[in-house]
Amino acid sequence: MKILINPSSDTWTKELARPVQKTKQINKIVKPILRKVKRNGDKALLKFALEYDHVHLENLEASELEIKASAAAIPTELKEAIQVAKENIERFHKAQISPELVEEVMPGVVCKRKSMPIQRVGLYIPGGTAPLFSTVLMLGVPAAIAGCKEIVLCTPPDRDGKIHPAILYTANLVGITKIMKVGGAQAVAAMTFGTSSVPKVDKIFGPGNQYVTAAKQMATKYGVAIDMPAGPSEVLVYADQTAIPAFVAADLLSQAEHGVDSQVVLVTTTEKIAKQVLKEIDAQLEDLPRKDIAQKALKNSRAVVMENQEEALELINEYAPEHLIISVENEEEVVDAIYNAGSIFIGNYTPESAGDYASGTNHTLPTYGYARSYSGVSLDSFVKKMTYQKITEEGIKSLGPTIEVMAANELLDAHKNAVSIRLKYLKSKKI
């Protein structure tokens, strides 16, 4: 992990560049997958399962028997932990329900706005090097609270044709019944176009590798929405002399172990702190089962020593991290100065892992600098806002002339006439 000492702002982009995504090569692989699934449906999915997952499947959908058996296949302490996390996530996301907005903007003109659930949503749950059953909670819970009519879950099977029992158990716990043994870009394709087994959806959620990410972005060309563009996981820790180096190192490694293309960044006030953290990273790394993955990720990572807080904050906002951990003495002042981050973790006792699993916030967040313009997943991600208006006779008399003038000046006479004809009618009623 390289240390940078007071880098000038014109070098930040280069020095903190995320791992390069080979977009053109990835798209060359993903486009034919989408095309084949669109053309051949389930037949293509079964073929891809054999080719990529090395498993011969008879059926793409998880059976009721498999779902029921999952409860016995995981330990009680895990089920209890999942239940606690579910309750916290439910509580925080239920608090996000917004009441219907009704406003009489002028006499006789009433405008309303209310949330309506997206009818059909697809959830992609990675199941490769780490089965992310926590993501089932992060996506399934708000989808259920929003009232989505159909929730489809896709996740890759193992070589025995089975889905990890924790994923099945969690999906069943949150009420998801359509669980498909489909992974990779082909899962996104199936939810985009629909097949005999996999329903077509209106919006696709969930993290994935670079192929899944590319497929999601291609899905938008076919009228399917996605949660956000996303890349490999990342964390930035801002630490001063009040931070505990062992905690900081643990937080950096918790993201580094996600994948070889992950990136972690330390921003600090002195070189001494940076060296203390790097020493802790070396010590903790030795005990990690995913040591090799974390080591490769650390090659993409940086420790940055900044001269003062003002420049440190400027760098953080420019980088726009997915996860931002703030371990500094004047935490409130620093938090108020952050405007680009996916999710913020405040204080020495708030590890990023809390947000990943059980604090209640959502862990599906914008990466790769997209935190400058995107929010993380929330209840709002599963609803659309619809507006309504009701105008009375009094209202059209008051508002009508304004509309007529505006429409006439845009040379849209039919728009003007839609108002004028009503005003003339009301005038004739009085005669």
In angstroms, rounded to a whole number, what is the distance separating the alpha carbons of residues 175 and 186? 24
The 10s digit of each residue's pLDDT in 382-411 is 999 999 999 999 999 999 999 999 999 999
Structural class in CATH, domain 392-430: mainly alpha
Fold of domain 231-375: Rossmann fold (3.40.50)
Q: What is the pLDDT of residue 281?
A: 97
Alpha-carbon distances of 101 from 110, 111, 112, 353, rounded to whole Å: 10, 8, 5, 36
Which one of 93, 164, 323, 363 is the catalytic residue?
323
Q: What is the pLDDT of residue 224?
A: 98
Q: What is the pLDDT of residue 229?
A: 83
pLDDT at 184 over 80: yes
pLDDT at 59 over 70: yes
pLDDT at 129 over 70: no
Please state whether beta strands 302-305 and 2-5 pair in parallel, antiparallel, or not at all (unpaired). parallel
**Is 6 assigned a ligand-binding role in the annotation?**
no
pLDDT at 94 over 80: yes
The residue-averaged pLDDT of 14-33 equals 89
Q: What is the pLDDT of residue 22?
A: 79
The residue-averaged pLDDT of 240-258 equals 96
* Residue 300's pLDDT band (cuts 50, 70, 90): confident
Reading phi first (left if > 0) and then psi (alpha if -120 to 50, else beta), residue 360 is in left
Q: What is the pLDDT of residue 237?
A: 98
Share of the chain above pLDDT 70, in %: 99
The answer to whether 265 and 12 are in contact (CB under 8 A) is no
pLDDT at 318 over 70: yes
Tell me the three state secondary structure of residue 317: helix
**Is 258 assigned a ligand-binding role in the annotation?**
yes
| Neighbouring residues of 124: CB distance < 8 A, sequence distance ≥ 6 | 154, 155, 187, 188, 191, 204, 205, 206, 207, 208, 212, 216
Q: What is the pLDDT of residue 431?
A: 66
Q: What is the pLDDT of residue 210?
A: 87
**Is 164 assigned a ligand-binding role in the annotation?**
no
The answer to whether 379 and 145 are in contact (CB under 8 A) is yes
Reading phi first (left if > 0) and then psi (alpha if -120 to 50, else beta), residue 347 is in left
The residue-averaged pLDDT of 272-291 equals 95
Clarify whether 322 is annotated catalytic.
yes
In angstroms, rounded to a whole number, what is the distance separating the alpha carbons of residues 349 and 247? 8
In angstroms, rounded to a whole number, what is the distance separating the alpha carbons of residues 110 and 394? 12
Fold of domain 23-98+117-219: Rossmann fold (3.40.50)
**Is 323 assigned a ligand-binding role in the annotation?**
yes
The residue-averaged pLDDT of 223-249 equals 94
CA dihedral defined by 120, 169, 131, 62, rounded to 10 degrees?
-60
The residue-averaged pLDDT of 336-343 equals 97
In 23-109, alpha helices (H): 23-40, 42-52, 64-73, 76-94
The answer to whether 340 and 372 are in contact (CB under 8 A) is yes
Clarify whether 352 is annotated catalytic.
no
Domain-by-domain residue ranges, the chain?
A: 23-98+117-219, 231-375, 392-430
With 0.85 as the threshold, say if the pTM is over it: yes
Hey, what long-range contacts does 94-97 have (CB within 8 A, 24 or more apart)?
94/145, 94/379, 96/378, 96/379, 96/380, 97/145, 97/379
The residue-averaged pLDDT of 310-331 equals 97
In angstroms, rounded to a whole number, what is the distance separating the alpha carbons of residues 121 and 61? 17
The 10s digit of each residue's pLDDT in 108-126 is 999 999 999 999 999 999 9
Task: Give DSSP secondary structure letters for 103-165.
Answer: EEEETTEEEEEEEEE-SEEEEE---SSS--HHHHHHHHHHHHHHT-SEEEEEE---TTS---H
Same fold for the pair 23-98+117-219 and 392-430: no
Which one of 234, 257, 280, 322 is the catalytic residue?
322
Beta bridge partners of 386: 114
CA-based nearest residue to 170, from 181, 179, 161: 179
The answer to whether 322 and 371 are in contact (CB under 8 A) is yes
Reading phi first (left if > 0) and then psi (alpha if -120 to 50, else beta), residue 351 is in beta
Task: Give DSSP secondary structure letters for 170-215.
Answer: HHHHTT--EEEE--HHHHHHHHHH--SSSPP-SEEE----HHHHHH
Mean pLDDT of the chain: 95
**Is 255 assigned a ligand-binding role in the annotation?**
yes
pLDDT at 128 over 80: no
Q: What is the pLDDT of residue 130?
A: 72
Please state whether beta strands 323-327 and 343-346 pair in parallel, antiparallel, or not at all (unpaired). parallel
Q: What is the pLDDT of residue 302?
A: 96
Q: What is the pLDDT of residue 429?
A: 85
